[in-house]
C-alpha cells in the first residue's frame, strides 16, 4: 500500500497528527549525532553544508566538527542537483530517503506506520491561505511543550524578522511558464531551458540552465521564506536558512516545499504530450561523470546509489508513494494554440496545428543569438535599465517567421524569443528581482504587469560567484521567455526589431551587490 | 550515446587526434623528427626556435591541449551570432595554440638547459615538483579557473577582441594549473624516446579538467590550506589536536581524490545493487 502524501493545508487543524508526528521525528533526529546518517544535520548536509554558516546559526557547536567519514566527505555532502536536468530525479531520491527515515523514527516513537511527507500546495487557488507559511511551522510553541521543532529562528521572510509572518508573493509561485512548456529537456544554450532543465553531468552548483519549474516556484519560494535578518543581505550569517542551498535542508519547511515541487512534476506529466526523457540514455542512466547519487537508508548503515531512471514510477515498489492530488491545472491549455489564437489565427484554423508532441518529434529547434548588450548591468538602485541591441540579419528571421508561420494555410508557430541573463554574480542568495521587457523610459513597472517577463531569485548565487568553489566565479545563468513581448510588437505592427529595453526591479537584496555579466536575446525556431 | 556528443567535443578531440597523428608520423623519422623537440642539444634559444621545432611544438600542443577546448568552443559557438561563430572560434584557437606553443618552447628550452644536470636527476626533481604542485592550493585555484566562461561581446571591436582575450585568460590559468605535469613530461621525454610521457601527461590533464568532478570537500580542504588564518581561527572552535586531525583528514581526502586506487576499500558501505532496480 503506497504512502499518500497530502496537502498540509487540508490535513485539518494546525497540529494534526501528520504534522505533530513530523515535529516529534524532527526533534528525535535533531538530537542524533551529526555523524549518524539518519540525523537531521547529516540529511541537511547532503543537500549542502557551509561550515561557517552552520556555526553562526548554531547548528554546529564550538568543538564540534563535520563528520570525518570518507563517504560523507567524498559522496554524501553537497550533493544537491541544481541548474541541471537531474534537479527533479535527484530531489525525488532525496525526499524518498528522508521520508523513510522520518517514518522509521515515527514508528520508533509509537506513531503510525503509514506516515507520509505532506506537501505545501501554494498554488491551490481554492485555499485563501495557500501563500501563508503553515501555522505549525511559524509557532514557537507546540502541543508537546518546549520549543517547537518545526520553528526555525533563521527564517525571516519579507519582514526580515525572525518569527514574523511569512507569506509568499503570488508572483513567486507562478506555474505558467513551467506548465505551458511541452519539453522536459532544455534545448541548446540560450533557448528554452525546458520544464526539467538543461543537459549536464553531475551538477551541484554553478552554470547550466535550470528548468522552468526550478526557476518558479522553486527558487522564488526558497528566497521568499528565507529572506535575511533585518533585511541585511550583505552579512552571510544573517541570511535565512531557506535562502541558501548550503543551509536550506535544515529548515523543516524545506521538505514540504520540495514535496510540492515533486508533486508538480507528476502534475505536469498529466497533460497531452508531456513526457519524461525516457528515450535519452544520458538522463536515464545519469548522473554522468564519476560521482554517484547516493542516499542513506533508515537502518543507518546502508547507503544506496540510484539513477534518474529509478525515479520515474512513484507508485512502484521502489518509491511506493502517491500524491493526494496531481491534477494538472493547465491540462486544457496548449501553449502553441493559445499563442496562435492571440496572434489572430481563427480557432477553426488551429485544427491544422500539430499536437505538441508530434511537432517536437518532427523538428529539432534551432537556437541562435539575436543580440546582446556590451557591458552587462549592475543593479545600482531599486531599478536598473538596459537596452539589448539586436542583430538586424537575425531579427529579420524572427519577423519572417511571423509572416511565414501566420500566413500559411497550416499555421505554424513563429519563433520563440528568450532573454538570457548571463554570469549573474552576487553575494546574497536571498537576492531577487523582477524583469520587465518592453517598457518605455517614462513607464512605471507597477502600471504594466503585462510587461513582467519573470521573477528571478538568486538561489545558489553565492557559491556560483565565489572563486573558492568548484566552477565558481562564473555566476548563474537565467533564461526567461519574452515571446509575449515580441508578439505584442508584432500585433502593434512593428516592422523592425532593433533593440529590446529591459528593466530590473529589485525585490530583495542590495542593488549594488548584483552584477549581470551579459544580457542577451535568443530566437528559437523550427 | 553518440548523439549526445557535442560538435565542439568532436572538433576538439578531432584536432587533438590530428595533432597526435602528426606527431606519430614525425616521431617515426627519429632524430630528424620529434626527438629534437625535447632534446635540443645545446639548450640554446636558436636551437629551440628552429622552424621544424616550432612546428613540432605546435603539433604537440594541438595534441595535448586540444581536448580542453571542447567547453570553450561550445561556449563561443552558442554565445556568438551565427555568422560570427567560426570567426570567434578561429580567433580563440589561433591565440590559444600560439600561447601554448610559446609555453611549450619555453618548457623545451628549460628542459634542454636543465638536462646538463643529468637526465635521471632532472626527471626525479621534476616529478617531485609535479607531485608537490598537485597538492598546493594555488594549483586548485588555477584548475577551477580553467572552467572560466566569460561574457562575450557581440558587436563592434570588442566582438573581435573578446575571443582572443578569453583564450589568453584561459591559457594563462591552464598553464598555471598544469605546468608542473608538462615540465615533468618534457623531462621524461629527455630520458625516454617516444610519445609515452606526453600521452601520460595529456591523460592526467584531460582527466582533471574534463572528467574529475570537483568536490566541495576537496575545495574545502584546499581552502583550509590557502586561507591559513581562517583555518587557525577554526582551530579555536574545535581544539588544536582535533583541528590537526581534521587537516590531516582533509589532505587525505585530497589524496584520495587524486589517487583513488590507493584506497581500494572505498566506498565500504555503498551497495552495488540498488533497491530501486
* A478, containing H or E segment: strand A476-481
**Residues B79 and A423 sit within 8 Å (Cβ to Cβ):** no
**Residue in B151, B223, B272 closest to A423 by CB:** B151
Torsion sign, CA atoms A105, A107, A111, A112: positive
Query: Do A473 and B144 make contact, defined as CB atoms within 8 angstroms?
Result: yes
For residue A74, what pLDDT is reported? 85
Residues 6 or more apart whose Cβ sits within 8 Å of residue A96: A295, A319, A321
**Residue in A289, A372, A517 closest to B213 by CB:** A289
For residue B198, what pLDDT is reported? 85
Torsion sign, CA atoms A435, A440, A446, A451: negative
Q: Which residue of A has its CA nearest to B247?
A: A68
To probe the interface with A, which of B267, B268, B272 has the most A CB atoms within 10 Å? B267
For residue A501, what pLDDT is reported? 96
Q: If phi over 0 gives left and psi between -120 and 50 gives alpha, with beta otherwise, what is residue A110?
A: left
Nearest-10 crossing angle of helices B119-134, B156-191: 130
Residues 6 or more apart whose Cβ sits within 8 Å of residue A453: A419, A435, A436, A437, A480, A481, A482, A484, A485
Query: Do B78 and A62 make contact, defined as CB atoms within 8 angstroms?
Result: no
Q: Which residue of B has its CA nearest to A421?
A: B151
What DSSP designation does A436 have?
E
Position B252 pLDDT exceeds 70: no
* A22, containing H or E segment: helix A17-31
**Residues B201 and B192 sit within 8 Å (Cβ to Cβ):** no
- Looking at the DSSP bridge assignments, the partners of residue A516 are A377, A424
Query: Do B270 and A303 make contact, defined as CB atoms within 8 angstroms?
Result: yes
φ, ψ for residue A377, nearest 5 deg:
-155, 145
**Residues A85 and A194 sit within 8 Å (Cβ to Cβ):** yes
Q: 82-111 in B: which are within 8 Å (CB) of A?
A: 82-83
How far are the Cα atoms of A332, A363, A367, A400 from residue A413, in angstroms, in the given order?
A: 19, 12, 15, 12
Q: Residue B8: count other Cβ atoms within 10 Å of its Cβ.
A: 19
Q: Which residue of B has its CA nearest to A205?
A: B216
Is B50's Cβ below 8 Å from some Cβ in A? no
ipTM of the complex: 0.91
Q: 242-271 in B: which are within 8 Å (CB) of A?
A: 242, 245-246, 249, 253, 256-257, 263, 266-271
For residue B105, what pLDDT is reported? 85
Q: Residue A407: count other Cβ atoms within 10 Å of its Cβ.
A: 9
Rounded Cα distance between B22 and B44, Å, is 25
For residue B218, what pLDDT is reported? 43
Is B213's Cβ below 8 Å from some Cβ in A? yes
Q: For residue range B182-234, list pLDDT tens digits in order.
A: 888 888 876 676 788 888 989 998 888 887 655 443 444 444 433 333 334 34
Angle, CA A261 vertex, CA A259 and CA A264 arms, to 5°: 110
Q: Which residue of A has its CA nearest to B156?
A: A374
The HSE-up count of residue A97 (CA atoms within 13 Å, CB side) is 30
**Per-residue confidence band for B49, with pLDDT thresholds at 50, 70 and 90:** low
Query: Do A374 and B156 make contact, defined as CB atoms within 8 angstroms?
Result: yes
What DSSP designation does A311 have?
G
Position B156 pLDDT exceeds 90: yes
Query: Do B242 and A63 make contact, defined as CB atoms within 8 angstroms?
Result: yes
Express the helix, strand and coil content of chain A in percent, nearest 5 each. 35, 15, 50
pTM metric for this prediction: 0.88
* Tens digit of pLDDT at every position of chain A (526 positions): 899 999 999 999 999 999 999 999 999 999 999 999 999 999 999 999 999 999 999 999 988 999 989 899 888 999 999 999 999 999 999 999 999 999 999 999 999 999 999 999 999 999 999 999 999 999 999 999 999 999 999 999 999 999 999 999 999 999 999 999 999 999 889 999 999 999 888 887 767 789 999 999 999 999 999 999 999 999 999 999 999 999 999 999 999 999 999 999 999 999 999 999 999 999 999 886 568 899 999 999 899 999 999 999 999 888 999 999 999 999 999 999 999 999 998 877 766 665 554 555 556 789 999 999 988 899 988 999 999 999 999 999 999 999 999 988 888 999 999 999 999 999 999 999 999 999 999 999 999 999 999 999 999 999 899 887 777 689 999 999 999 999 999 999 988 999 999 999 999 998 888 999 999 999 999 8
- The beta-carbon contacts of A488-494 under 8 Å, at least 24 apart in sequence, are A488/A438, A488/A450, A489/A438, A490/A343, A490/A399, A490/A402, A490/A414, A491/A343, A491/A344
Which of A91-122 are b and which e, b meaning 16 or more Cβ less than 10 Å from the residue's Cβ?
bbbbbbbbbbbbbbbbbeeebeeebbbbbbbb
Residues 6 or more apart whose Cβ sits within 8 Å of residue A211: A85, A87, A88, A178, A184, A186, A193, A194, A195, A196, A197, A198
A-B interface: how many C-beta pairs under 8 angstroms? 164
Q: 107-166 in B: which are within 8 Å (CB) of A?
A: 141, 144-145, 147-156, 158
How large a percentage of chain B has pLDDT more than 90?
Answer: 30
Q: For residue range B68-79, list pLDDT tens digits in order.
A: 999 999 999 999
Query: Do A303 and B269 make contact, defined as CB atoms within 8 angstroms?
Result: yes
The DSSP code sequence of chain B is -GGGS-HHHHHHHHHHHHHHHHHHHHHTTGGGTTHHHH--SS--HHHHTSHHHHHHHHHHHHHHHGGGGHHHHHHHHHTS-GGGHHHHHHHHHHHHHHHHHHHHHHHHHHHHHHGGG-HHHHHHHHHHHHHHHHTSHHHHHHHHHTT-------SHHHHHHHHHHHHHHHHHHHHHHHHHHHHHHHHHHHHS-SSHHHHHHHHHHHIIIIISPPPHHHHHHHHHHHTHHHHHHHHHHH-HHHHHHHHHHHHHHHHHHH-GGGGTT-SSSEESS-TT-
Please give, rounded to a whole number of angstroms, the shortest distance from the CA of A73 to a CA of chain B: 6
Question: Which residues of chain B make contact with A56, given a CB cutoff of 8 A?
Answer: none
**Residue in A290, A391, A473 closest to B81 by CB:** A391
Is B274's Cβ below 8 Å from some Cβ in A? yes
**Per-residue confidence band for B41, with pLDDT thresholds at 50, 70 and 90:** very low
Q: For residue range B79-98, list pLDDT tens digits in order.
A: 999 999 999 999 999 999 99
Please give, rounded to a whole number of angstroms, the shortest distance from the CA of B200 to a CA of chain A: 20
For residue B138, what pLDDT is reported? 86
To probe the interface with B, which of A282, A372, A521, A523 has the most B CB atoms within 10 Å? A372
For residue A143, what pLDDT is reported? 97
Query: Do A64 and B238 make contact, defined as CB atoms within 8 angstroms?
Result: yes
Amino acid at each position: 500500500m503506497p504512502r499518500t502524501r497530502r496537502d498540509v493545508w487540508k490535513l485539518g487543524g494546525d497540529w494534526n497528527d501528520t504534522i505533530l508526528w513530523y515535529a516529534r521525528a524532527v526533534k528525535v533526529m535533531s538530537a542524533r549525532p551529526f555523524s549518524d546518517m539518519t540525523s537531521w544535520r547529516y540529511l541537511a548536509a547532503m543537500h549542502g553544508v557551509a561550515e561557517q554558516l552552520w556555526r553562526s546559526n548554531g547548528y554546529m557547536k564550538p568543538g564540534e566538527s563535520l563528520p570525518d567519514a570518507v563517504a560523507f566527505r567524498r559522496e554524501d555532502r553537497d550533493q544537491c542537483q541544481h541548474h541541471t536536468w537531474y534537479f527533479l530525479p535527484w530531489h525525488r531520491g532525496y525526499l524518498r530517503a528522508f521520508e523513510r527515515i522520518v517514518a522509521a523514527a515515527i514508528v520508533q516513537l509509537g506513531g503510525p506506520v503509514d506516515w507520509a511527507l505532506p506537501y505545501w500546495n501554494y498554488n491551490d487557488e481554492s485555499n485563501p491561505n495557500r501563500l501563508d507559511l503553515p501555522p505549525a511551522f511559524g509557532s514557537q510553541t507546540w502541543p508537546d511543550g518546549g520549543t517547537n521543532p518545526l520553528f526555525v529562528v533563521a527564517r525571516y521572510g519579507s519582514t526580515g524578522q525572525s518569527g514574523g509572518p511569512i507569506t509568499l508573493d503570488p508572483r513567486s509561485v507562478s506555474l505558467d511558464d513551467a506548465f505551458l512548456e511541452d519539453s522536459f529537456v532544455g534545448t541548446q544554450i540560450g533557448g528554452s531551458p525546458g520544464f526539467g532543465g538543461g543537459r549536464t553531468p553531475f551538477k551541484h552548483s554553478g552554470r547550466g540552465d535550470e528548468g522552468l519549474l526550478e526557476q518558479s516556484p522553486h527558487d522564488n519560494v526558497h528566497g521568499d521564506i528565507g529572506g535575511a535578518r533585518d533585511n541585511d543581505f550583505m552579512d552571510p550569517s544573517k541570511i535565512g536558512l531557506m535562502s541558501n542551498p548550503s543551509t536550506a535542508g535544515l529548515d523543516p519547511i524545506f521538505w514540504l516545499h520540495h514535496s510540492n515541487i515533486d508533486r508538480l512534476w507528476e502534475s505536469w506529466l498529466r497533460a497531452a504530450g508531456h513526457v519524461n526523457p525516457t528515450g535519452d540514455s544520458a538522463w536515464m542512466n545519469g548522473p554522468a561523470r564519476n560521482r554517484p547519487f547516493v542516499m542513506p537508508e533508515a537502518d543507518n548503515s546502508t547507503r544506496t546509489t540510484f539513477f534518474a531512471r529509478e525515479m520515474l514510477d512513484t507508485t512502484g515498489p521502489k518509491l511506493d508513494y502517491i500524491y493526494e492530488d496531481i491534477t494538472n491545472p493547465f491540462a486544457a491549455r496548449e501553449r502553441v494554440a493559445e499563442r496562435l489564437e492571440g496572434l489572430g489565427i481563427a480557432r477553426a484554423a488551429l485544427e491544422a496545428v500539430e499536437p505538441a508532441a508530434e511537432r517536437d518529434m518532427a523538428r529539432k529547434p534551432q537556437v541562435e543569438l539575436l543580440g546582446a548588450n556590451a557591458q552587462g548591468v549592475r543593479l545600482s538602485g531599486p531599478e536598473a535599465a538596459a537596452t539589448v541591441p539586436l542583430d538586424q540579419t537575425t531579427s529579420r528571421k524572427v519577423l519572417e517567421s511571423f509572416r511565414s508561420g501566420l500566413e500559411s494555410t497550416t499555421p505554424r508557430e513563429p519563433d520563440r524569443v528568450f532573454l538570457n541573463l548571463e554570469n549573474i554574480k552576487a553575494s546574497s542568495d536571498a537576492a531577487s528581482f523582477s524583469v520587465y521587457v518592453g517598457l518605455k523610459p517614462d513607464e512605471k513597472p507597477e502600471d504594466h504587469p503585462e510587461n513582467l517577463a519573470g521573477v528571478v531569485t538568486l538561489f545558489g548565487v553565492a557559491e556560483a560567484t565565489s572563486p573558492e568553489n568548484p566552477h565558481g566565479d562564473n555566476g548563474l545563468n537565467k533564461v526567461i521567455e519574452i515571446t509575449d513581448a515580441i508578439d505584442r510588437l508584432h500585433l502593434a505592427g512593428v516592422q523592425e526589431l532593433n533593440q529590446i529595453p529591459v528593466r530590473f526591479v529589485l525585490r530583495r537584496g542590495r542593488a549594488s551587490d548584483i552584477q549581470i555579466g551579459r544580457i542577451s536575446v535568443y530566437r528559437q525556431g523550427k | 550515446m553518440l548523439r549526445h556528443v557535442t560538435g565542439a567535443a568532436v572538433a576538439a578531440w578531432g584536432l587533438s587526434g590530428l595533432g597526435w597523428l602528426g606527431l606519430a608520423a614525425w616521431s617515426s623519422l627519429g632524430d630528424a623528427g620529434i626527438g629534437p623537440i625535447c632534446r635540443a642539444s645545446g639548450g640554446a634559444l636558436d636551437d629551440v626556435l628552429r622552424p621544424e621545432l616550432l612546428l613540432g611544438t605546435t603539433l604537440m600542443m594541438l595534441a595535448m591541449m586540444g581536448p580542453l577546448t571542447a567547453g570553450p568552443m561550445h561556449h563561443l559557438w552558442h554565445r556568438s551570432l551565427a555568422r560570427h561563430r567560426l570567426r570567434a572560434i578561429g580567433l580563440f584557437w589561433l591565440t590559444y595554440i600560439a600561447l601554448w606553443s610559446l609555453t611549450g618552447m619555453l618548457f623545451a628550452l628549460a628542459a634542454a638547459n636543465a638536462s646538463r644536470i643529468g637526465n635521471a636527476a632532472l626527471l626525479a626533481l621534476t616529478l617531485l615538483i609535479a607531485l608537490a604542485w598537485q597538492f598546493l592550493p594555488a594549483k586548485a585555484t588555477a584548475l577551477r579557473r580553467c572552467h572560466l566562461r566569460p561574457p562575450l561581446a557581440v558587436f563592434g571591436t570588442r566582438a573581435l577582441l573578446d575571443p582572443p582575450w578569453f583564450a589568453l585568460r584561459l591559457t594563462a590559468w591552464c598553464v598555471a594549473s598544469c605546468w608542473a605535469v608538462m615540465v615533468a613530461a618534457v623531462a621524461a621525454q629527455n630520458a625516454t624516446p617516444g610519445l609515452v610521457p606526453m600521452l601520460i601527461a595529456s591523460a592526467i590533464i584531460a582527466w582533471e579538467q574534463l572528467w574529475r568532478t570537483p568536490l566541495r570537500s576537496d575545495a574545502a580542504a584546499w581552502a583550509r590550506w590557502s586561507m591559513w588564518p581562517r583555518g587557525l581561527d577554526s582551530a579555536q572552535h574545535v581544539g588544536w589536536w582535533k583541528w590537526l586531525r581534521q587537516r590531516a583528514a582533509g589532505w587525505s581526502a585530497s589524496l584520495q581524490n587524486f589517487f583513488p586506487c590507493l584506497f581500494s576499500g572505498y566506498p565500504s558501505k555503498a551497495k552495488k545493487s540498488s533497491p530501486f532496480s
